[in-house]
A and B are shown apart, each in its own frame.
Chain A
Amino acid sequence: MNRVAVTGLGLVCALGNNVEESWRRLLAGECRIAPLSDEGNPPYKFSKGAEAWGFRPHEHFSEKDLVMLERFAQLATVAAREAVGRSGLRFDRELADRTAVITGSSVGGQFSEEEGYQRLYREGNPRVAPLTIPRTMANAGASRISLEFGIHGPTYTVSTACSSSNHALGQAFWLVRGGAVRAAIAGGSEAVFAEGLLRAWEAMRVVSPDVCRPFSADRRGLSLGEGAGMLVLENWEHAHARGARVYGEIIGFGMSSDAHHLTQLCVDGPAKAMTWALQDARLSPERVGYINAHGTGTQANDTTETEAIRAVFNSYADKLLVSSTKSMHGHTLGAAGAIEAIATLLTLQHSQIPPTVNYTTPDPACNLDVVPNQARSAPVEIALSNTFAFGGLNASLIMKRFAG
């Protein structure tokens, strides 16, 4: 078994165009959920979202590239560039064969798909754009990253709704730990602000009409967000030998299925994912100091997650710091696990806990220390990041501070 270092981080989301900008805003407790660029006609029942406000595709891609790449794949590529850049990795022939690219996306290239439908069904034009298939495919981001860096190892995409990129990271972690590959670029991306998709979310009645307020008694639902998070995972010895900067260590992963209901949460499944992640890391629960919660801001998620955390950590749960950074960058669906893993690693590195913002009123059913509204200084050695997906699919990733 190999230790797994994180040697690169890349982030594009509502918080910023890179890791530094995003981290600064996370610590400042800046809610970046704001009025949508396009409010819809008729207006959507929710007026706000967390778009990647500062992302300008033309700053990163040629016109020719943009013809090939959908927004979600653009976001993935830009985040991967930052992560690889920070890692300082050079993919020579040998490393290129022994590096994996594993991305997560819930819906893939929704814009191209909707454009196609618009032509077909609204305009009665049967000539759909020839690149619709490669633009839409959920692995477009993974394939682009592999192409751009000349990586030949295992490259694929996981699509498990809101757990997609946590599952992708877990897979990458296990591949590096088991020795199948020496390094992996892993994470996820999502571009959700396409009209058809927004209407579908609207019909589901889980989006807050205002902003999301995780764990607050007056919470009224989630806020949708877009973005990408990418990490470079690397064999510890390999990273050490080349003197790489280490952001932290991944030490455990657990995943479970509720087998309970398509969309209703249950306590058991999430509790199993956390328990199995702890077992995978050979840790007792008391070693964990911080949890980056799934914390969507729906009534059901936040109470169920609280119960699940209590089921796993028992009375120690009162000592845990638990926050939902979704209150600032929104729920980025397939990118959530990756963006929140990055937030968690930075939390460990800087001994600063990002808050749960928009919090107004304690809820007895969510009675954990959710670090309301203000970041907090606290040295934490080990942290866990949760995602729970529609379909009942749960994932928990455990990270450790690098004390080097």
Chain B
Amino acid sequence: MDAVDNSQRYHEIRPMPETPETDQLSSRVINVIAKTQRIPAESIAPDSTFNQLKIDSLDGINIIFALENEFGIEIPDEGINNMRSVREVTEGIEKLMAAKAQTTSPGAV
């Protein structure tokens, strides 16, 4: 068993988010994961890994699907392999949203 002792994790000092936007994005990601996994959002920290949260590949597909709906983006298969923690997911989504803004902004035709 690779049970994780979560009791300490929640009291860890979390690194300061880089920007308020990232913080907001991160909490949206956490909410999606919490809802999909049916676990309390408080049990998820910005640097929780999927392993720690006991998220397996099938759960991962569900979460990615819910994130695509939440943010109106498409996450490519290749991207999933680099999304193994809340932080990695948040960073990945940030990039995809930036790319999307670029292609849809009227000035960037």
Residues B58 and A264 in contact, CB atoms below 8 Å apart: yes
Return A136 CB to nearest CB of chain B, in Å. Answer: 27
Compute how far the CA of A263 lies from the CA of B59 in the bound complex, rounded to whole angstroms. Answer: 11
From A205, A263, A264, A300, give the contact of B77 (CB < 8 A).
A205
Compute how far the CA of A221 lies from the CA of B78 in the bound complex, rounded to whole angstroms. Answer: 12
- For residue B76, which residue of chain A has the nearest CB? A45
Residues of chain A from 257 to 277 with CB closer than 8 A to chain B in the complex: 261-264
Residues B65 and A203 in contact, CB atoms below 8 Å apart: yes
Chain B contacts for A204, CB-based, 8 A: 61
* Cβ of B51 under 8 Å from chain A: no
A-B contact count (CB 8 A): 20
What would be 20 A-B contacts, judged by CB atoms less than 8 Å apart? A45-B77, A203-B61, A203-B65, A204-B61, A205-B61, A205-B64, A205-B77, A205-B80, A209-B77, A220-B77, A221-B77, A261-B56, A261-B58, A262-B58, A263-B57, A263-B58, A264-B56, A264-B57, A264-B58, A300-B57
A-B complex: 9 closest residue pairs judged by Cβ atoms: A263-B58, A205-B77, A205-B61, A264-B57, A203-B65, A262-B58, A204-B61, A264-B56, A264-B58
Chain A contacts for B64, CB-based, 8 A: 205
Compute how far the CA of A262 lies from the CA of B65 in the bound complex, rounded to whole angstroms. Answer: 18
User: Is chain A's binding surface mostly helix, strand, loop or mixed?
Assistant: loop
Compute how far the CA of A169 lies from the CA of B80 in the bound complex, rounded to whole angstroms. Answer: 38
Interface residues of A (CB under 8 A from B): 45, 203-205, 209, 220-221, 261-264, 300
- For residue A204, which residue of chain B has the nearest CB? B61
Return A213 CB to nearest CB of chain B, in Å. Answer: 15
- For residue B60, which residue of chain A has the nearest CB? A205
Residues of chain B from 36 to 63 with CB closer than 8 A to chain A in the complex: 56-58, 61
Compute how far the CA of A189 lies from the CA of B64 in the bound complex, rounded to whole angstroms. Answer: 32
Chain A contacts for B57, CB-based, 8 A: 263-264, 300
Residues of chain B from 50 to 94 with CB closer than 8 A to chain A in the complex: 56-58, 61, 64-65, 77, 80
Chain A contacts for B58, CB-based, 8 A: 261-264
Compute how far the CA of A204 lies from the CA of B64 in the bound complex, rounded to whole angstroms. Answer: 11
Return A172 CB to nearest CB of chain B, in Å. Answer: 33
Return A97 CB to nearest CB of chain B, in Å. Answer: 46
Besides A203-B61, A262-B58, A264-B57, 15 other CB < 8 A contacts? Answer: A45-B77, A204-B61, A205-B61, A205-B64, A205-B77, A205-B80, A209-B77, A221-B77, A261-B56, A261-B58, A263-B57, A263-B58, A264-B56, A264-B58, A300-B57
Chain B contacts for A203, CB-based, 8 A: 61, 65
Compute how far the CA of A215 lies from the CA of B77 in the bound complex, rounded to whole angstroms. Answer: 19
Compute how far the CA of A263 lies from the CA of B61 in the bound complex, rounded to whole angstroms. Answer: 12
